[in-house]
Structure 1
Amino acid sequence: MENTDNMKVRFAREEDIPQILGFIQALAVYEDMLDQVVATEELLKEWIFEKKKAEVLLAECEEKPVGFALFFHNFSTFLGRAGIYLEDLFVLPEYRGRKVGKTLLRALAEIAVERECGRLEWSCLDWNQPSIDFYLSLGARQMSDWTGYRLEGSTLKSLAGLSE
């Protein structure tokens, strides 16, 4: 993984679960969505480390965790190959502007190329202009022709034919 002067990026280990949850909660505070976080250390252990449904990169400055990227594989039928979907990218406020986010995205790009993925993609909240500007500065292309949809909770169960 990426190592620069005082920064390194590494894959998270099971003992990093409390830090991962802390980053998730800090991101939710930033996005004013903390009330929606139901993740627990137990759930993260199960889904990331036991079921291996996602992976996490941690950025460390002088051995202190300062940011994370949580990602998983998706699949493009048009490309006929897997891609990487970045679910969350977060850097502690005091470390923003120090290339931590860029280093995490570079590490993800390296993983995508190494794994022969067709693309790396993510979503960003419409109001988050600092992040949008950052992504555009890296050469990312905003996908304006697509609208995201979601089923969750009772509507997901209803479609599955299950009742609450």
Structure 2
Amino acid sequence: MTERIGVYPGTFDPITLGHADIIRRGSKLVDRLVIGVTTNPSKNPMFSTDERMEMVRREVADMKLGNVEVVGFNALLMKFAAKQGATVIVRGLRAVADFEYEYQMAGMNQQIDDEIETVFLMADVSLQPIASKLVKEIALFGGSISPFVSPAVCKDVIARVEKIGRLGDY
């Protein structure tokens, strides 16, 4: 029997508890789960690709998942997935707005390579509101992000905010 490989792509800027939940659950669906850390300049990343990869590797190590690896990529997702030997793309959904975007992406991806299926996992109800963009915004305005990220990621984000400076008056 061939190994079932999945890819969970994202910018992970920073990795949140919601991402960790999808990684943990997605790793149960495949023999090997590749976390694809990608660049997306339109998202105005707070951390470099290398920093994000290290952050994700640390979080995955803490989860003690032996079938998960972290790989950086800067290419079309379907080409990256095919290169990894993946038959599944894992995507997390938080809300209806996510579904509309992800549904369109899955359709486009299927047009590119219909041998690779997209699997959607609903975020845990308690984690559904969490988004990396909002975590960064809260941190930049001096709010607490500890309910949304691990303690180690919280320290990373706070250190970065201290380096680049907070926004607004408080």
Higher relative contact order (CA 8 A, sep 6+): 2
Bigger share in strand: 1
Normalised by the length of structure 2, the TM-score is 0.33
Bigger share in helix: 2
Normalised by the length of structure 1, the TM-score is 0.33
